[in-house]
Structure 1
Amino acid sequence: MYLRSLFPEPPPAPAQNVHHFFFGRPDQSQWPDYNIHIDIETDRKRTFKEVKDRVKEALTAFGSPLKDGGVEFGGAGSEEMIGIMSENSSDYMVLVHALLANATPFSLISAYSTRFELLHAFKLSKISRLFVQPKHLQHALSVAKEVGLPFTNIYIIGGHVKGYQSLSGMSDRARKARLPQIPAQPVKQDTLAYLVFSSGTSGLPKAVMITHGNLIYSLHQSVIVGQVTAEVAPPPQGIPVSLAFLPMHHSYGLHAYCFRSLLAPSTYIIMPKWNIDAALRAIPKYRVTNLALIPSVVHQLVNHPRISSIDLSSVRHVGSGAAYLPPQLSSRMKALTPKDSTITEGYGMSECTIAALAQVLDGTLNGRGKLIPGSSGILLPGMEARIVRDDGSEAEFDEVGELWLKSPNVSPGYWNNETANKETFVDGWLKTGDRFSVNGEGYFFFADRAKDTLKVSGTQVSPVEIENVFLVHPEKLISDVTVAGVSGGRTSDEKVPRAWVVLSTAGKKKGPAAVIKALDEWQQENLSKYKWTRGGIEVVKEIPKSPTGKTLRRVLVDKYERRFKRVKSKL
C-alpha cells in the first residue's frame, strides 16, 4: 500500500546554509540569555549567547588565513573531511555548528571505537583533519599514522595537549586578534553537511550522507510536529531541562542536543557518557523535565534497585528511540513518572536524517490523532511510505511487510559504497530493512528487522514476537531477552529460534533451570509449534547492545555457532 503523512506539508528546503536556521531566526531575538548547557561533572554553565559567540569565533578561526592567526581550512568547494572523536561536551556542539557554517563536512566518529572500528571509520570517511578529546588522543594517533593523517592536522577538543592546537585556543586567538568575522558560507541543497555511521548491527558500519537540504527539511518536520502538539498540549511554563547523555556522534544525540536544542530555549545537563548513578542524582538535582531515552536505558532505569526512592516528580515527558521499545517496558517507565507526564516513541534511522514516524497525542490533527501504546506512530510531515511484500508487491492494511520511505529528509546515499546504495535506495525509495504493519488509520506497528526474520519450515517467524511472549510471563522471570536464528534446522541453511534471557529478581530466586523450564512451557501454551525456540533457551548475565541501544544479536549468535561447531565436530 501507499501512504502519505497526515501532517501538514513542510515548506520546501531553501538552498541556504542550515546555520541561518539555527542562529539567524527572528524569534531568537526575543529569547532570554538562558543557560543552554550545564556540565554535570563541573557544574560549569554556558548561556545561549556564549555558545553562539563561540560558534562565531570558531568559524572565524577556521576561515581566516594562516598569516592572520587563523587555521584556514574548509569552506565551500573544498575537499576537506573533518573527523570528530569525542564524548559529549558543550564544545562538541560548538564545533559541529562552526563546521556547518563553514560548509565543511564532518564525520562523526565514536570515541568508544575499537582499533579495528576506528581504522574502518578513518579509511571510509577519508578524514583530512581530526578533532579529538585528550583522553582518546593516543588511540587516535596510532590509527592516524596507519592511514597517513598528518599529526599537524590533529587538533584537541575539550582541553589542551602540549604540541597540538585546540578548538578553544583557535577561538581565543580569533577573538583576541579581532579577526574580521567570517560569515556562513553559501551552499546548495545537496551540499554535504556530515557523515554519520550506521549502527553496524550486521557487517561493517556504513557512512550515511546528510546534506544541508536534508537537515533543513528535517528541522521543519520537527517544527510542524511541535506546532500540532501544542494545539492540545501547550508547552509548560519555564525553560525545559533535558538530560543529555546520548552520544552526540549518533543521529539521536546529535539532533536532540546539537540541533533541536536551538528550536526553543531549553537547558541541557551534559553528561560525557551514560552513567546511571550520575543520572539518578542529576534528575532531582536539576529538576529534569525531559528524558530522551533508548530502550536499554529504560530497562536499566525500571530495574534499578533504588529507582523507587528517586524523585522523578519533575519529569514531564519521556521519549524513546533508536530501537524498539516493548510495551511492557513503556508501561513500567510510565508508572515511575507523574500521572500527567507523557511517554512517546517513534521510529527513525540515520538514512532519514533522524526520524520517519512519531507518536501523536490524542485529539491532534483535527481529532484524528491518537496516542496508541505499542504503535510507532504516523509518518512525519512530508513523508511517503509503502509496505512491500517479499515478492515486491504491495501489502494490504494490517499485513506485515518491509517499510519503504520517500521524502526530502531521506539521505542521498552512503559515502563511497555503491553496492549498498543500489541495494538500499531504489527508484527514489529508501528500503529500510524493517518490517511494519499499518492499520486503516495510518498508524504503524513495528514487527521486526527484515534480516532478523526467520523461515522455519518455509514459514516466517518473528524474533520480536517470541521475545514479547517471554517478557509477559506472569511470574516476571526475566528482565531482558533476545531471540535470533541459529544452526540446527532440518536443512543446513535453515535457522531455528534460540533465546538468550537475563533473569529478573524473581527469576534468580527460582533458579536458571526452573526458569528455562517455565519459559518453555509458557511458549508452548502461547506460540504455534514452529515458533518454539528449538535452538534452546540460555541464561546470560546481559544482552549485548550498541551504545544506542540496538541489540547485537550477532555477538550471541557467533558465540553459539562456534560452540555448536565444536560439539558437532566431536560427534
Structure 2
Amino acid sequence: MSEIHGPGGPVPHIPDDVTVVQFMLDMNHESRPVAPSAQTNPWLIEDATGRMISYAEIRSRTQGLANGISSRWRISEDDVVCIFSPNHVDYPVAVWAVHRLGAIVTAANPAYMAGELEYQLTTTKAKLLFVHPWSYEVATDAARAAGLAPDRIVLFDSLPNNSCVTIQQLVEEGHSKPPSFTERRLNPGEGKTKLAFLSFSSGTTGRPKAVCIPHYTPIANVIQMSHLANLQTLPWEERKWRPGDAAIAVLPFFHIYGLVVIMHFSIFYALTLVVVPKFNFVDMLKSIERYRINQLSVVPPMILLLCKHPAVKQHDLSSVHMIMCGAAPLSAELTWRLAEIFPRARIGQGYGMTEACTTVSFPQNEQKVCTPGSAGRLIPGIIARVVQPDGSHAGYNKPGQLVVKGPALALRYLNNEEATKETFVDGWLYTGDEVMINESAEVFVVDRIKELLKVKGFQVAPAELEGHLLDHPDVSDVCVVGVPDDYSGELPLAFVALSPNALERVKKDPGEAERIKATLMKHVSDTKVHYKRLAAGVEFVDVIPKNPSGKLLRRVLRDRAKEMKEQGKLPLVPKPKL
C-alpha cells in the first residue's frame, strides 16, 4: 500500500477560469444544492441584531464596494488588500469585492499587536487596509510603521469623530458612480496560478509565512466538501449536512478553517451563517437557542466547555444536530462525553491546514458518532501517503508523516524558496504531522513532526518566541515547548538559560528569579498576540540541550515539561473567565 485515495471520487468538474467571487455569486455548479427555502433563506444573520442579509443584498454590496474601492484608489489586478477584523457580516463582501477587481486578500488576526500587523502589511505590500473599529488604534500604528497612508484605512463600521471612510459609504459611493473597472473572466487554467489569498501560517523556523493560494484551490476544496456531503444516503433528519440549516460562524474568518470551511463551503452548501464577531461561551449558547442553530463548527477548547460548563444545562440546545471539530485533535474521551450531552447530534472531526487550503479529511457520512480519535476520512480527490523516516511508505495502521496530493493545494510560500522546497515537493504537500491511516481511509493524528505548537487551534512557531526572548539581555539561550492542556491543546513554556549578569543578580537575591520570569513573560505579552504568550510560564535551566550539530533537543525538554506538569510544578497562568 503506497497511496490511499479518498473514497467517493471522482470529484465533479472544478472550473479553472473563474475567480472565487464569480464561483460564489455568479455561477451554478452541479455540486451546489438548493435550500428548501432558497428564495427566502438568508445567507447571513448578524448575531447581535438579528439582521438578515440575502444573496441579492450581498451581491449588490459586493459590486458597490468594488466600484467604490476602484474609484477612490484604483485597486486593481494583483494589488493586495488586508482585512484586519473579527467576523462581520460585511467580511465576505470585502473579500469578494477585492476579488471582483482581480486583487488579492490577506486576512490578519484582529488580536495582533501593531508589530505583528506591520509585518503582515510589509510582507504582502498591502495597499489598502479594512479595519474593524475594535482594532482601529493598533491598525493605525501598524499602518504608519508600514508606510500606509491614513486615507488608505477603511472602517467596517463608523467611529465617532473619525474621518476614515466606511464600507457603507464606499458601497453607496460605488452605486452612485459609473463603473470604474472591468471585471474579466480568467483565461483557461489561469485560476490555478492567479492568487486569491495570502494566508499566513507559522513554520518551523522564523516568523509566520504567507501561503500563496490561487483562486482554483478554495473553489476545489469547496467542491470536494460539497461532493462528499452530496454522497449522504441516510434519511434527511440523520444527515450531517442539510441545505437550509442554520450554522454558527464564531470561528474567525481570518483563519483558513473559518475562511474556507465556514465562510465559503457553508454558504455554498445553502446554510445560513449566524455571524458572531467575538467568542464568548455563554453568549454562544444564547445564540444557539435564539436562532435555533443546527450546525456547530468548533475547536477542542469549545468542546471542553460544552462538556463541562454549567451553563450548558441552562439553555435549550436541542436544535443542534451536527458538531464538527477541527484545528487540533479531539480525544476519544471528549468525543464520547460530548455524545452523552448531545445524544441527537452527529459528531465528527476534520483535518486540514493552510497549505492544503483547507480540508484533507472530513467527518464520516455514515457514522452518527464518528470513529473516536480519528480526524475524519480522506475527502474525495485527496491522495495520501504515510512516509516513514527512511522514505518508505507505511502500510495501513502504521505511523509516518502524512504527505498529500489534491486539487486544493497552495502553490508556495511567498518569497521563501527554502521553506517552499521543504513543504511542496513534486506536487505533494509534506504536512509535518505524524499519522496513521486505516483501511477505511480514516486519519489518526499521532504527533507533529514539525515543531509547531497548537494553542486553541492556532499555530505557534517556537522559533518566533525564542527569537524574541533572545533579544532580552537576561536571556543567554532559550527553548520553547508545548505543555499539554485540556482547554487550549498546548500552552507555551520557555526553558531559559540566563545570561551571566542575570545569574549574578539571582545569586545575590533569590527573589530576583521570580522578577526575571515575570519580566520575560511581559516581554512576550507586550508584543505578541494572546495565544503566543507564555501561559505555561518560564523555567530556568543551566543549559539548553542540543545535539552535536547544534540543533535544539526539543523533545528532551518537552518530556521534562510533561513530567513537571504531572508533579504539579508548573504554575500555569489562570484561564480567563467566560
TM bucket, shorter chain: 0.7 to 0.9
Following superposition, the deviation at residue 432 of structure 1 comes to 0.4
Pair 1:397-2:404 in alignment = no
2:361 to 321, 341, 357: 357
| Corresponding letter in the other structure for 2:173 | R
Aligned to 1:219: 222
Residue 435 to residue 484, structure 1, CA distance change in 2 (3 Å): farther
**What is the DSSP-based 3-state SS (H/G/I as helix, E as strand, rest coil) of the residue aligned with 2:439?**
coil
Aligned to 1:407: 406
| Corresponding letter in the other structure for 1:73 | R
Q: Which runs of 5+ in 2 are unaligned?
A: 454-480, 496-540, 548-552
Residue 370 to residue 299, structure 1, CA distance change in 2 (3 Å): closer
Residue 439 to residue 533, structure 1, CA distance change in 2 (3 Å): farther
Aligned to 2:307: 302
Asked whether the 8 Å contact 2:339–2:369 carries over to 1, the reply is no
Following superposition, the deviation at residue 31 of structure 1 comes to 2.3
Residue 90 to residue 12, structure 1, CA distance change in 2 (3 Å): closer
| Corresponding letter in the other structure for 1:373 | P
Pair 1:51-2:51 in alignment = no
**What is the DSSP-based 3-state SS (H/G/I as helix, E as strand, rest coil) of the residue aligned with 1:93?**
helix
**What is the DSSP-based 3-state SS (H/G/I as helix, E as strand, rest coil) of the residue aligned with 1:209?**
strand
Residue 394 to residue 54, structure 1, CA distance change in 2 (3 Å): same
Residue 186 to residue 499, structure 1, CA distance change in 2 (3 Å): same
2:18 to 16, 19, 24: 16
Residue 168 to residue 238, structure 1, CA distance change in 2 (3 Å): same
**What is the DSSP-based 3-state SS (H/G/I as helix, E as strand, rest coil) of the residue aligned with 2:43?**
strand
CA distance in 2, matches of 1:373, 1:195: 34
Residue 453 to residue 249, structure 1, CA distance change in 2 (3 Å): closer
Aligned to 1:386: 385
Asked whether the 8 Å contact 1:497–1:533 carries over to 2, the reply is no
| 1:111-122 map, 5 Å | 111-122=110-121
Residue 279 to residue 167, structure 1, CA distance change in 2 (3 Å): same
TM-score (normalised: structure 2): 0.76
**What is the DSSP-based 3-state SS (H/G/I as helix, E as strand, rest coil) of the residue aligned with 1:21?**
helix
2:258 to 250, 253, 262: 253
Residue 135 to residue 448, structure 1, CA distance change in 2 (3 Å): same
Following superposition, the deviation at residue 20 of structure 1 comes to 2.5
| Corresponding letter in the other structure for 1:345 | Q
Q: Deviations over 1:315-343 (max 9, x none)?
A: 01000011111111222222221x33101
Aligned to 1:333: 338
| Corresponding letter in the other structure for 1:275 | N
Query: Larger deviation: 155-164 or 43-52?
Result: 155-164
Q: Deviations over 1:336-393 (max 9, x none)?
A: 21x3310111100011111101221337xxxxx9932211222211111111112222
Following superposition, the deviation at residue 301 of structure 1 comes to 2.5
Asked whether the 8 Å contact 2:217–2:357 carries over to 1, the reply is yes
| Corresponding letter in the other structure for 2:176 | K
**What is the DSSP-based 3-state SS (H/G/I as helix, E as strand, rest coil) of the residue aligned with 2:92?**
helix
1:269 to 261, 271, 274: 274
Residue 248 to residue 436, structure 1, CA distance change in 2 (3 Å): same
Q: Which runs of 5+ in 1 are unaligned?
A: 64-69, 364-368, 455-462, 472-477, 502-531, 546-571
Identity rate, percent: 25
Asked whether the 8 Å contact 1:209–1:415 carries over to 2, the reply is yes
Aligned to 1:516: none
CA distance in 2, matches of 1:258, 1:97: 11
Aligned to 2:434: 435
Aligned to 2:7: 6
Aligned to 1:165: 165
Aligned to 2:82: 83
| Corresponding letter in the other structure for 1:15 | D
Following superposition, the deviation at residue 273 of structure 1 comes to 1.2
Pair 1:176-2:176 in alignment = yes
Aligned to 2:43: 36
Pair 1:347-2:351 in alignment = yes
Asked whether the 8 Å contact 1:498–1:537 carries over to 2, the reply is no
| Corresponding letter in the other structure for 2:24 | F
Asked whether the 8 Å contact 1:484–1:498 carries over to 2, the reply is no
Asked whether the 8 Å contact 1:488–1:496 carries over to 2, the reply is no
CA distance in 1, matches of 2:50, 2:387: 50
Following superposition, the deviation at residue 199 of structure 1 comes to 4.9
Aligned to 1:209: 212
Asked whether the 8 Å contact 1:403–1:436 carries over to 2, the reply is yes
Asked whether the 8 Å contact 2:300–2:489 carries over to 1, the reply is no
Aligned to 1:558: none
Asked whether the 8 Å contact 2:324–2:349 carries over to 1, the reply is yes
Q: Deviations over 1:90-127 (max 9, x none)?
A: 11111111112222101111111022321221221221
| Corresponding letter in the other structure for 2:167 | L
Residue 89 to residue 277, structure 1, CA distance change in 2 (3 Å): same
CA RMSD of aligned residues (A): 3.3
**What is the DSSP-based 3-state SS (H/G/I as helix, E as strand, rest coil) of the residue aligned with 2:393?**
coil
Asked whether the 8 Å contact 1:360–1:378 carries over to 2, the reply is yes
CA distance in 2, matches of 1:186, 1:380: 27
Query: Larger deviation: 417-426 or 28-37?
Result: 28-37
Residue 168 to residue 491, structure 1, CA distance change in 2 (3 Å): closer
Asked whether the 8 Å contact 1:289–1:317 carries over to 2, the reply is yes
Give the count of matched residue pairs.
Answer: 483
Query: Larger deviation: 181-190 or 239-248?
Result: 181-190
Asked whether the 8 Å contact 1:245–1:272 carries over to 2, the reply is yes
Residue 328 to residue 155, structure 1, CA distance change in 2 (3 Å): same
| 1:167-566 map, 5 Å | 167-177=167-177, 179=179, 183=183, 186=186, 188-189=190-191, 190-199=193-202, 203-230=206-233, 233=236, 239-337=244-342, 339-362=343-366, 371-452=370-451, 482=490, 493=547, 494=553, 495-498=556-559, 537-541=568-572
